[in-house]
Chain A
């Protein structure tokens, strides 16, 4: 280290040559350093000691080969070991020029010669020579201004001062551009002419000088004779020399093992023992870098991860992704606008189909990397789920039902329209013989039609909107019950044999004497008089509230009327016509009664409230069953002629079929209608039932009831009948079957009655 620093100091004032030398020296010194760190101290000492020792050594070892080595080094100047010599020289002169160098060399040889003569002598000699070779004199001192910018003298006639302090004047004739140019053209030495600013004169360089400039420009040494590739001399070699390099006795520590080293080694040993330092890993290339992973089939791994779901593949592109799609796949303006408006997640296509006329026009897809990245994210972030895709043929879902054709007869076509009413027809009823049809309308009239001819035989003005009409089911009498406001009228339309008419008259006027016994009840019976009598009205049964429905018992003697009211228990009355008696069967209010019906055979009474149907045994005076309709609001009810089945229509579009033997829940719920069901009816003979709804349709269903208790009834819709016009959101209001034929009558809000056969 010290060596190199020493050389550094010296080189500051030296020329390039020295630098190269230094480099090699430094390199070498580094090597030495690495090889023998510990000898550093010694070296230093050795170096310091070197100075005084050197001359003596030289004196002593003249015969030795070392001398020649030194001299060689001296010539080349490539060794740093002779720093001392140079330092000496430095004292004498800091040389800048090769000339100087030569001189120096000459001087040295001189010196050596002198040294040979005597040491003390040589030193004195040196002192004498000191100023002769002062290189600071070397600079041009004709002008004494020093190293200043010469333009300071631009405006002066002189250019500086000579050694005697006199002005040096500028050359008389300054060259102008033209002269310069002419000079350039004519003067063969122009290229080697240099302007000296200091003296203001032109100097023509000699050949040697030009050569020197060229060499320097090429990066070569200025000295022609200098060999830069001299063989270097190994200062420390593998050869063991006989003599030590220094005279200094070896240290004690060089004989005993180093503690520091021991510590270091023990640390390493400990680390290896503890496994902190591992031996260099050896690559396991037993199977080679590339090998066939699947060369041996191993099924045991298969079972390990059974639940793994493979990721779904990317859907394959369709025609619209083509660079040249068929024209129909391109977006129209509206589609494009829609696409742009939509949220990216809602879009059907993630891109806009574009058409390019040739392949070279296709640009890069800007979102390509994005899409790939999203796919990657999907692959490892998306929860996967096995989705069971229903692969069902929709045709298989449709239930296999018997063909309607096989279930004939049932009404299929509209054959007659009964027109005449001016208001919506609320209720219709067919006479037990099937010849007559009675209808009650909101226009305040009851009309009697002949079924086959659609002729209106009779019109009775009752003076109020008719809510319900009911023909007495007993074929031996001809009576009609009409409900309007709070009155139930009994009409004898006299549209039958004389016998029948008289029988009905007799029935009405039979028990006069019983009536006064009743006296003051909520219901009063009154005979019709005058005009009314002429029209056929026989009896008026005055109720406390508005009557909504009247129903006959099958025998024709009993009549039930309904007055829906939330607050009172007087909602249903049962009247006996022959004895002109009325009674209220219920003591308590169990909900808003919608409609009632008699059991066709047994003494049962059906009462439909909003959500349920209650069945009462009239003989035992108790409730036998309560049917849950599962609908919001029952609108109508019909009892099967067998008496074991009930259907209920409701305002929430449903039709529920109850099998009384089966359960209190509906056996079937039919949601055929789009709107509220207004009326339902059973056919008395054929296994048919019908429902009428506000959507203007009447749906006929086939409903076979088997005697076998184990077999459930078969329900098949067979026909949808349309014809009624919807007016004021009301369609068909009432529906009833012909007693003997498979015909059906329906009355609608369009003031007509229609017959479908």
Chain B
């Protein structure tokens, strides 16, 4: 029994973590200052693996930071500035208390300020890094710019945010960087591609906010300040970039000849071409916005794709032409009907613009006329993988997109034709034969569906049921399938415990996914059936 006794919590994870309070004391900062510093420097708490060990045996809930992180903060020059500010406030208070106005003035003049550029540079070593993180800052900017002057935050902040957002939008317009738009119940999502980085931001609807009481605006404001720099840079860039865009792209096209993989290159070229086409989506079209539509959003989107847009003079400054202009091709209206209509223009609902942008083609305007029930507005951010549920509207749009190219998949068209055929049938007259046909079709569809489900389920070692009638027809294939399924089942039995667990987990997830997809499909089918029945009733 030689040597010193080992003491507890003097090595290992206990020394790697530090509680928030201790860290605060070490930095000699107040809690708000500490928070500010953490936000600015991007330091976040860590969850230790063994909380009890780190917490020195206690189980009290505490926030832990890595000691390394705190040491990193120790070297931050801003910490000194925070302390200076504290002293400044104290002195100012004293001067006020003594009513020494000259001292107050003198102190005011020497108010300590700090700059964040070195922190920004440190957190985002390159511009691309900053762009990657700009999403949240942009969201906050757009939110703050919609605030009224209620004293919840500084008016200057609101004005600054407003200016930045306008500059940002100008940049996006100039660079034609917008890719996707989505009207959600929360607000409008935009996605732009800047220097290859997809940037998504959310703009709330233009209503006054009822400010919740439990929200700390200081935190939110701080968050904004992080993004400012990149926006500054962007806005500065916007003008120059717009000019450069055309030349740069030509260069790129030339450069593209180098890669050896021809197929890849072709694909990329195709994509690029498509993107180019999308950028000029609304070119040559002239829009007029009625006063009830969201002007800023629509003007932004239309201009991003090269369209011309104007609005009533009384709504806002900046209108370029009147309603009476004969060259207007589309007027965007969001009311059930309109009194005075011009013949040579389309009166459409605002959703058309957004749907066109997402579909990357000019969609037929018929579905978007006044008073017409709009087709569902789909999210452009959803990318369906195999086995996922794809709403029929999306299929239609995909078919339309493919319709431009000569190489077309027949399936989709067939489906479409079928649908059209159905429609025609319905339109003709509703006889009993018609009904029967419909029923037959439905049956066939159901069978198909079942088959599909079975095929899917085989991936999951479900028991395959054989209906007696069909066995004879498909005997060899089915037998083979069955054999394979059994083989798999037996092989699964031989899996190791760990792998089996993992496998079960994956399969459970997959199964849940298909279940959800099936549920959606069933819901859709029920809805469609109900609609059909309603139509028929109405006709009778």
Name A's B-contacting residues (CB within 8 A): 277-278, 280-281, 290, 292-294, 297-299, 301-302, 304-305, 307-308, 310-311, 313-314, 316-319, 321-329, 332, 351, 353-354, 356-360, 362-366, 368-373, 375-377, 379-385, 390, 392, 394, 397-401, 403-405, 670-672, 699, 715-720
In whole angstroms, what is the CA distance A324 to B502 when docked?
39
List the one stretch of B228-236, B255-263, B276-284, B314-322 in contact with chain A: B228-236
In whole angstroms, what is the CA distance A388 to B111 when docked?
48
- Report the nearest A residue to B142, measured CB to CB: A372
| Chain A residues with CB under 8 A of B187 | 365, 368
State the 3 A-B residue pairs at the shortest beta-carbon distance, nearest first. Answer: A364-B207, A316-B381, A383-B47
Partner of A351, one of B185, B219, B293, B495: B185
In whole angstroms, what is the CA distance A294 to B125 when docked?
8
| Chain B residues with CB under 8 A of A357 | 373-374
A369 touches B391 (CB 8 A): no
In whole angstroms, what is the CA distance A364 to B135 when docked?
21
* Known contacts A299-B125, A318-B379, A404-B487, A327 near B524 by CB under 8 Å: yes
New A-B pairs, 13, CB < 8 Å, besides A305-B72, A322-B183, A392-B506:
A294-B121, A294-B127, A317-B182, A322-B376, A328-B520, A359-B351, A368-B143, A372-B220, A376-B140, A381-B44, A397-B499, A401-B494, A699-B493
Interface presence of B300 (CB below 8 A): no
B205 touches A362 (CB 8 A): yes
| Chain B residues with CB under 8 A of A397 | 495, 499, 502-503, 506
A717 touches B490 (CB 8 A): yes
Give min CB distance, B211 to chain A, whole Å.
Answer: 7
| Chain A residues with CB under 8 A of B488 | 398
| Chain B residues with CB under 8 A of A301 | 121-122, 125
| Chain B residues with CB under 8 A of A390 | 502
A401 touches B205 (CB 8 A): no
* Known contacts A328-B527, A373-B215, A398-B488, A323 near B184 by CB under 8 Å: yes
B122 touches A305 (CB 8 A): yes
24 A-B residue pairs with Cβ-Cβ distance under 8 Å, sorted by A, are A280-B110, A294-B127, A301-B121, A301-B125, A317-B189, A321-B184, A323-B185, A324-B377, A328-B527, A358-B334, A359-B293, A362-B185, A362-B205, A364-B204, A368-B186, A371-B186, A373-B219, A375-B139, A380-B35, A382-B44, A383-B44, A399-B494, A401-B494, A716-B490
- Report the nearest A residue to B460, measured CB to CB: A394
Interface presence of B39 (CB below 8 A): yes
| Chain A residues with CB under 8 A of B292 | 360
- Report the nearest A residue to B189, measured CB to CB: A317
Partner of B130, one of A294, A325, A326: A294
| Chain B residues with CB under 8 A of A324 | 183, 351, 374, 376-377
Q: Which of B280-335 contact A (CB under 8 A)?
A: 292-294, 334-335
Give min CB distance, B73 to chain A, whole Å.
Answer: 11
Interface presence of B156 (CB below 8 A): no
Name B's A-contacting residues (CB within 8 A): 35, 38-39, 42, 44-47, 63, 68, 72, 106, 109-110, 117, 120-127, 130, 132-133, 135-136, 139-140, 143, 182-187, 189, 200, 204-205, 207-212, 215-216, 219-220, 223, 229, 232-233, 236, 292-294, 334-335, 349-351, 373-374, 376-379, 381-382, 391-393, 483, 486-497, 499, 502-503, 506-507, 510, 520-521, 523-524, 527
In whole angstroms, what is the CA distance A289 to B494 when docked?
69
A370 touches B215 (CB 8 A): yes
* Known contacts A294-B127, A360-B292, A370-B215, A394 near B503 by CB under 8 Å: yes
- Report the nearest A residue to B500, measured CB to CB: A397
In whole angstroms, what is the CA distance A375 to B233 when docked?
25
* Known contacts A278-B110, A362-B183, A376 near B523 by CB under 8 Å: no
- Report the nearest A residue to B220, measured CB to CB: A376
In whole angstroms, what is the CA distance A383 to B63 when docked?
9
In whole angstroms, what is the CA distance A290 to B68 when docked?
33
In whole angstroms, what is the CA distance A68 to B384 when docked?
102
Partner of A317, one of B125, B293, B379: B379
In whole angstroms, what is the CA distance A323 to B185 when docked?
5
Give min CB distance, B537 to chain A, whole Å.
Answer: 18
A369 touches B143 (CB 8 A): yes
| Chain B residues with CB under 8 A of A326 | 376, 378, 391-393, 524
- Report the nearest B residue to A352, measured CB to CB: B185
Partner of A360, one of B46, B334, B489: B334
- Report the nearest A residue to B127, measured CB to CB: A294
In whole angstroms, what is the CA distance A670 to B293 when docked?
68
B183 touches A323 (CB 8 A): yes
In whole angstroms, what is the CA distance A405 to B510 when docked?
30
- Looking at B123, B497, B523, B527, the one whose CB has the most chain A CB atoms below 10 A away is B523
In whole angstroms, what is the CA distance A351 to B503 when docked?
33
Partner of B205, one of A280, A317, A365, A381: A365
Give min CB distance, A621 to chain B, whole Å.
Answer: 40
In whole angstroms, what is the CA distance A711 to B109 when docked?
87
In whole angstroms, what is the CA distance A617 to B107 when docked?
100
* Known contacts A326-B391, A369-B212, A398 near B379 by CB under 8 Å: no
Partner of B117, one of A293, A314, A360, A382: A293
In whole angstroms, what is the CA distance A278 to B109 when docked?
10
In whole angstroms, what is the CA distance A670 to B492 when docked?
11
B184 touches A376 (CB 8 A): no
* Known contacts A304-B122, A317-B184, A326-B391, A372 near B233 by CB under 8 Å: no
In whole angstroms, what is the CA distance A321 to B186 when docked?
8
B223 touches A715 (CB 8 A): no
Partner of A321, one of B120, B185, B205: B185
In whole angstroms, what is the CA distance A720 to B486 when docked?
9
| Chain A residues with CB under 8 A of B502 | 390, 392, 397
In whole angstroms, what is the CA distance A377 to B130 when docked?
20
B219 touches A277 (CB 8 A): no
* Known contacts A327-B524, A329-B520, A290 near B232 by CB under 8 Å: yes
Partner of B215, one of A278, A319, A369: A369
- Report the nearest B residue to A400, measured CB to CB: B491
Give min CB distance, B225 to chain A, whole Å.
Answer: 12
In whole angstroms, what is the CA distance A379 to B139 when docked?
14
In whole angstroms, what is the CA distance A358 to B332 when docked?
12
| Chain A residues with CB under 8 A of B374 | 324, 357-358
Partner of B382, one of A318, A351, A366, A375: A318
Partner of B185, one of A314, A354, A400, A715: A354
In whole angstroms, what is the CA distance A80 to B466 when docked?
120
| Chain B residues with CB under 8 A of A373 | 212, 215-216, 219-220
In whole angstroms, what is the CA distance A302 to B493 when docked?
49
Give min CB distance, B436 to chain A, whole Å.
Answer: 27
A377 touches B122 (CB 8 A): no
Give min CB distance, B160 to chain A, whole Å.
Answer: 13
A364 touches B110 (CB 8 A): no
| Chain B residues with CB under 8 A of A404 | 486-487, 490
* Known contacts A301-B125, A317-B379, A373-B220, A398 near B527 by CB under 8 Å: no
In whole angstroms, what is the CA distance A366 to B381 when docked?
23
Give min CB distance, B47 to chain A, whole Å.
Answer: 4
B487 touches A672 (CB 8 A): no
Give min CB distance, B5 to chain A, whole Å.
Answer: 34
Partner of B136, one of A366, A375, A671, A718: A375
| Chain B residues with CB under 8 A of A392 | 502, 506
B495 touches A359 (CB 8 A): no
| Chain A residues with CB under 8 A of B351 | 324, 359
| Chain B residues with CB under 8 A of A305 | 72, 122-123
- Report the nearest A residue to B492, measured CB to CB: A398
B45 touches A383 (CB 8 A): yes
Give min CB distance, B104 to chain A, whole Å.
Answer: 14
* Known contacts A380-B35, A385-B47, A398-B492, A290 near B376 by CB under 8 Å: no
| Chain A residues with CB under 8 A of B523 | 327-328, 332
| Chain A residues with CB under 8 A of B72 | 305
A359 touches B349 (CB 8 A): yes
Give min CB distance, A274 to chain B, whole Å.
Answer: 14
| Chain A residues with CB under 8 A of B223 | 376, 379
